[in-house]
Amino acid sequence: MNQIDNINHVGMAVRDLAVTAARFEAMGFQLTPFSPHSGAWKPGEPVQKLGSGNRCVMFANNYLEILGTENGDEPPPRLANFLNRHQGAHIICFNSEGPSVLDEQLRGLNIQTSGVIPLQRDIDTPDGVRTARFERVQFAPDDSPEGYIQAARHLTPDFIYQPRYVTHANGCTSLSEVLVAADDAAAFAEKYGRYLGTSAEACGDLFQFRLPLGSTLTVVPSRQTAQLFPGSLLPPVPAVVAFAFRTPDLTAQRQRLIERKFAVFEDDNRISIPAEEASGVVVAFEGPTSNAK
């Protein structure tokens, strides 16, 4: 049985969290307050502070995580490793309600995993600070040059998906797509097919995984990136190069972005902001009837 039903979140590593947060607020997003991370690196190890934290763009069942340090402190090793490669998106976290079963399935396919390990972070709630808890399993820790690829289960979802944070001035309703670029896109599609327990749908030269709860993972040949993301300085591949949000009013969002001096590129029912204007990742917006390319 397939244990993955959605993209739970995509994570960015940024050098200046305040600057990046201001850019996303200018795009019309509401961000959560800063939340520090604690976790363990291996099963059975104690939970400890990780030296990083996040602000998030939340939706009803997935979100964007923007990782940084509090008050501009020196980044901890994990965050520094991301930033030494490039600023931008480094994490794809899929949603799984059965991480232990998923871990067994992956190991049965001879895919190395981290095992199921705990993660937690303190969250501001209407009833005060509460500790949100997760279980996660990382896929192929030694063979994921595109980033930190994992699946997670929320043990305290009410602390994460608070109604007060899921409404945005731009009207966006979901993180709809994440795009990974690679020289050998077919090999990456085969790899993700093993992770997700399903085959990709070929769409021209692209490979797409449409997940049950509405999000899409797309693998893009690196030779196509200049055509898909014109005018954008992209990180070295393989990499998470872009993600998209669903908006009910693409015209209004286009006007918002132009008024706030963003460069905007248009392609059918999608508009995008170049990576250099969004802390290293292309940010796209697609209308309610958009078909991913």
What average pLDDT does the segment 182-203 reach?
A: 96
Q: Half-sphere exposure (CA, 13 Å, Cβ side) for 92?
A: 30
CA distance 282 to 263: 11
4-165 folds as: 2,3-Dihydroxybiphenyl 1,2-Dioxygenase; domain 1 (3.10.180)
3-state DSSP call for residue 6? strand
- As a whole number, the mean pLDDT across the chain is 92
Cis peptide preceding 238, ω within 30 of 0 = yes
CA distance 1 to 102: 9
CA distance 188 to 181: 9
Closest CA to 284 of 240, 234, 199, 267: 267
What average pLDDT does the segment 194-203 reach?
A: 95
CA distance 245 to 157: 21
Quickly state the pLDDT bin for 51 (edges 50, 70, 90). Answer: low
Model confidence pLDDT, tens digit, residues 220-229? 999 999 999 9
Phi-psi region of 279 (alpha: psi -120 to 50; beta: other; left: phi over 0): left
| 249's tokens | 């009013």
3-state DSSP call for residue 277? helix
**Domain 174-286, CATH class in plain words:** alpha beta
Residue 64, amino acid: L
CA angle 257, 260, 266 (to 5 degrees): 25
pLDDT at position 292 is 44
pLDDT at position 253 is 97
CB count in 10 Å sphere of residue 217: 25
Within 8 A by CB and 6+ apart from 133, the residues are 118, 119, 120, 155, 156
Residue 75 has φ and ψ, to the nearest 5°, of: -65, 145
Where is pLDDT greater, at 79 or 23? 23
pLDDT at position 291 is 47
pLDDT at position 118 is 86
Chain region(s) in the chain for CATH 3.10.180.10: 4-165, 174-286
Q: Where are the beta strands (DSSP E) in 101-173?
A: 113-125, 128-139, 148-154
What average pLDDT does the segment 149-167 reach?
A: 96
First to last CA, the chain: 28
